[in-house]
Amino acid sequence: MKPGGKKPGLLSGFFSGIKENVSLLLDPVSAGAALQAEDFPLLPLRDLVLFPQTVVPLFITYLPGMIALEQAIARDNRLFAACLKKHERITDEDEPCSTGTVVRIIQHLKLPDNTYRVVLQGEYRGTITALNSQNGLSMVRVEPLKITGLSDPLNTEDLGLMRSLQKSFVQYAEYSKKINTDTLSAAERTENPERLANLICNASYLKSGQKTELLGMADTRERLLAILETLERENEIYSVQKNISGKVRSRIDRHQREYILHEQLKEINKELGKDKIEDEFALLEKSIAEKSPPTEVIAKTSKEIARLRKLQPLSPEAGVLRGYLEWISDLPWSGSSVDSGDLAEAGKILDEDHFGMRKAKDRILEFIAVRQLLSWGMGNGEQGTGIVDKTEESSTPSPQSPVPSPQSPVPSPQSIKGPILCFIGPPGTGKTSLGKSVARALGRRFVRISLGGVRDEAEIRGHRKTYVGALPGKIIQSMRKAGTVNPVFLLDEIDKLSSDFRGDPASALLEVLDPEQNSTFQDHYLEVPFDLSRVLFITTANSLHTIPYPLLDRMEIIEVPGYGENEKLAIAKQFLVPKELRENGLSESKIIFKDDAIRDIIRYWTMESGVRGLEREIARCIRRIARHAVNKGYGSDKPVTSFGKTLTPKILEKLLGRRKHKNDVVYKEAHIGVTYGLAWTETGGTILPVETLRYEGGGELLITGNLGDVMKESASIALSYLRSVKERYNFDVKNLNKTDFHIHVPEGAIPKDGPSAGITLASSLLSTLCRKPPLPGVAMTGELTLTGRILPIGGLKEKLLAAVRNKMVKVLLPKDNREEWNELDKDIREAIQVEFVENADEVFSLLFDEEISKKP
């Protein structure tokens, strides 16, 4: 029940006497021991709690209240007012709270509609002990609440509590702006704790549940503390609310001011005749038009700019559209760089930056040559030839054909689709740096994207621009960085892509790396096609096995094999040593690396196919020398102006420490059951020693060394083949069914798999069966079939380099690998002796003496 307000006419003077009744509150009603339990009519209230020593006007419009009021007027003008527990609606079934206030009727007025307007004064708090309802009238037995908790007179602690409460109430009144001055003055002047509590609870705008709880507290000290805590919490809420409101208001005021100033500036410019001044939207349209984008892009951006004009400048959607249009304007839609047509100069640049890599260099020079021929053919007006047929557009543009860009004077080469090259090879062979050299040789911009660990499709295709913080994918971002439509684009470590619930980035690359589709590549953020057909894509990988086949099928594979010892020596002398001297401040010194010293670093401190480890070891040597040079006074204000040192094999261990690699897996002498295979890994080739033992048992084959399923199958094939040809060889075993074999490949922590160890396993088993050691210093590779054929293998160069590093004398290779052998560099072919074999019998005859074979 809400207090009534001032009404005109009949009610105009009704509440005029309320102010006079406030004076009655100056002498609070005592809740002493003289008060006894009494019976009162129950005045049920909804969302309203009355307190002692307060005067409240009410409108009584519901039947239970009117019956109770009439009963009280007939008795002694006293009621018991209690808030209902259920206050959705007032009925006879509603249960009142157990605590309420005994009130006296000061004034009452019955209106024509039989409702009442009354003024009630609270006397004291009480608790219902009995309830009797009959004919709509509820009579309650009320026992006065026994008040405790404060001493008389008040001690300093209680006085301090009251003053804190009065101070908090004053602050509450300042925040709420709803407390009248009479109530505030009465609260500040009172020295009675009960009266102070009643005044504050009645005046505060709290929920009825909170007020009921405060009304029922008998301990005055606890009641004052609870009221103080409630007021402090309300004050804190008001303070935070006021702070937030102030910030929001200032922000709105600032935005409104900026908007008004912008509008005024427009009108001023019109009056001054400067209405043609380019605004932000005009600048966007101009910058986009200057890039000569396709018609579809112009239509899309025009629509978005029209939307942007209608939005408030600082609205979130305006920020999204502005960022989108800025991306469109920053992208290179037509500008391209002119390719170098000088084959000799391009070849010179490639040779300056990298040693070897003939296949990769030849492919780049072929690309330059084709572009030069096409440019020459179009310049001489040749049409209908094989050269012109390879282009997508005719030399004479039709009326519907787009006019060639003024930035590209020769149109036909621009229509050549960029090849998709994939450099495959071990780490440290220069695949990534080769991409930079290709760009330099062509005269193009160079951009690089590392794909290692990328697992989100949005990294390639971008996010929808509706997302917060959306951006285009790495492809479009790099195109903006390049600034031309025909850069050299390096996708590094493409075999290290992964996928999860966010999508498969390898699948997203299918469109990028397809020459037939990438002319209409569509990024999710741009929502318009972007032409990638003129980009020269170069990808790098260490292994083909982890690249999905559909992606691999779109690329031209160029192998970048590991380096031999002579190649590493040349690279170190021409590239690595000068680079490290320059980077370590010794370029002007006279430091000389002897060839023998570099070879020892290659053999004993590095074991790799590339030259990254070799570069680190050379850098270590030079840093140690740099420290010695500074101690000698070189590079300081001292008169020492020159410094020189020659590195020989004798001083390497002083600079680099003990040797790291000693080829311990290879025995210098022959051992029964020990043969050496050759394996390919992502880091290059390696020696694969195989050891076999036999002992009495039940014909079982035990295989250890962390081998894969394919290699285990190769061991079973080797044993089955030897069982089938036991009549040809002098086995030292009478019954193979009662002999067990244990094959072990050392370095068991390293996983090993593949079929090319088949002949190596068979040779190790034969050595054990015949108890004859194979010739020392012989390595072999090849897949063995059940009929004894030796099938060709891959990774030939890496395997041969591993044999050379481990000082093998001879290598047995499958006959079908002869052509690949002939294509290898001369220094590798001269470094080791090779025998080509076609079946297992040829291998056994070269590996063992004639005593193992039975005479016919």
Cβ-contact 429, 609 below 8 angstroms: yes
Cβ-contact 231, 200 below 8 angstroms: yes
Using CA atoms of 53, 58, 62, 64 in order, give the dihedral in degrees to the nearest 10: 20
- Token pair, residue 112, equals 């024509």
Residue 99 one-letter amino acid: T
Helix, strand, coil distribution of the chain in percent, nearest 5: 45, 20, 35
Q: Exposure pattern of 201-213 as b/e (b: 16+ CB <10 Å)? A: bbbbebebeebbb
- What lies within 8 Å, CB to CB, of 617 at 6+ separation is 601, 605, 606, 656
Q: How far apart are CA 177 and CA 157, in angstroms?
A: 30
Known catalytic residues?
Answer: 756, 799
* DSSP at 574: I
Instruction: Tell me the three-class secondary structure of 168-192, residue by residue.
Output: HHHHHHHHHCCCCHHHHHHHHHCCC
Burial class (CB in 10 A: 0-12, 13-18, 19+), 441: buried
Beta strands in 504-647 (DSSP E): 521-522, 529-530, 536-541, 556-559, 590-593, 644-647
Q: How far apart are CA 829 and CA 265, in angstroms?
A: 82
Cβ-contact 722, 766 below 8 angstroms: yes
Q: How far apart are CA 140 and CA 128, in angstroms?
A: 6
Burial class (CB in 10 A: 0-12, 13-18, 19+), 192: middle
Q: How far apart are CA 703 and CA 715, in angstroms?
A: 8
Cβ-contact 238, 166 below 8 angstroms: no
**Beta carbons within 10 angstroms of residue 731's beta carbon:** 20
- Token pair, residue 395, equals 């030399």
Residue 798 one-letter amino acid: E
Cβ-contact 420, 557 below 8 angstroms: no
- Region of residue 453 (phi > 0: left; psi between -120 and 50: alpha; otherwise: beta): left
**C-alpha R_g of the chain:** 48
Q: How far apart are CA 847 and CA 773, in angstroms?
A: 9
- Region of residue 556 (phi > 0: left; psi between -120 and 50: alpha; otherwise: beta): beta
Q: How far apart are CA 124 and CA 32, in angstroms?
A: 10
What distances in angstroms separate CA 279 from CA 266, 269, 298, one per listed residue?
Answer: 10, 12, 19
The helix (run of H) or strand (run of E) holding residue 125 is strand 116-134
- Identify the sign of the CA torsion 843, 844, 849, 855: negative
Q: Which of 330, 318, 296 is nearest to 527 (CA)?
A: 296
Tallying the residues shown for the chain, one arrives at 856
Burial class (CB in 10 A: 0-12, 13-18, 19+), 624: middle
DSSP assignments along 199-253, one per residue: HHHHHS---HHHHHHHHT--BHHHHHHHHHHHHHHHHHHHHHHHHHHHHHHHHHH
